[in-house]
Amino acid sequence: MLMRSRYFFLLIFFFCLSLKVSGQKALVIHGVVSKKLSGERISQVLIRNLRSKDLMMSDELGWFTVNAAIGDTLLFTKTEYTDQKIVIINGSDMPVYMQPVIQLATVTIKGETKKQEINDVMADYRKQGTFYDGKPPVLSFLSSPLTGLYELFGTTPGQAKRFKAYSKNELEYAEVKRRYTVTLVKRVTSAPDTVAKKFMEYYTPTYEDLKAMSDYDLIKEIKKSYQYYDENKNSLDLEHLNAPVLEKKEEKQKP
């Protein structure tokens, strides 16, 4: 009877040990984040593994990939949505549904996106006869000489050309602001609001940088840049990094 009890406890011990080992096996979890009830995909959801502290983000279509182990807990967060925690129980694909935060007071904003506004302005220029945004093709002189000359020397074409250059910069700036936000920096770095804003004055990726970055690359770059900033923020180099360049006054020559 005593031997049977020993065998029984040993069996339970090895069974629990095998569960623990299998629970620590690394898995690659794929999934998609959607809005509850409507099923609309949610982009730029931050996904944190509470055990490993790894941080990922869902893409523009709501898809995500994260490294985890059975038993790990994933925390899904996004502004205007209720946080969602999910425990990994197997390696199968993971559908995640997030509940929008209920707004007590709804404010209706009448307006259009910046891109729509810019397109409307350019359409107005075309209605005024600015057909080529100030850049007439060579063949336009053959088909319509007056239109071609107007496009080259008219006042409105010049304004349209300048506006087009301005609108390009505005759209690029808006895209940077859309992807690189205070909320994202705070969650990646765990920095308070004031520190996050100060860091963003030191480091902000350019539009060209962001074009080449996935969301995962952006998170890695924020982590790396913030670590350097945090370690060197009191140094003279960083203090004067964004200081205005002062013109050196010419010394008066001695008689």
Domains of the chain (ranges; CATH) run 25-98 (2.60.40.1120), 114-175 (no CATH), 180-239 (no CATH)
3-state SS track over 207-230 = HHHHHCCCHHHHHHHHHHHHHHHH
Question: pLDDT: is 228 or 171 the higher one?
Answer: 228
User: Per-residue confidence at 108, pLDDT binned at 50, 70, 90?
Assistant: very low
pLDDT digits (tens, 9 = 90+) for 47-81: 999 999 888 999 889 999 999 999 999 999 998 89
Instruction: Say what the pTM is.
Output: 0.50
pLDDT digits (tens, 9 = 90+) for 7-50: 555 556 555 555 554 446 789 999 999 998 888 999 989 999 99
Please say whether the beta carbons of 230 and 203 come within 8 A. Answer: no
pLDDT digits (tens, 9 = 90+) for 137-149: 544 444 445 444 4
16-35 burial, b at 16+ Cβ within 10 Å, e below that, comes to eeeeeeeeeeeeebebbbbe
What percent of the chain has pLDDT above 70? 57
The length of the chain is 255
Does 86 score more than 90 pLDDT?
Answer: yes
Please say whether the beta carbons of 150 and 138 come within 8 A. Answer: no
- For the beta sheet containing 84-87, the strands, ordered from the edge strand earlier in sequence to the opposite edge, are 55-57, 46-49, 73-77, 84-87
pLDDT of 5 reads: 57
Please say whether the beta carbons of 85 and 73 come within 8 A. Answer: yes
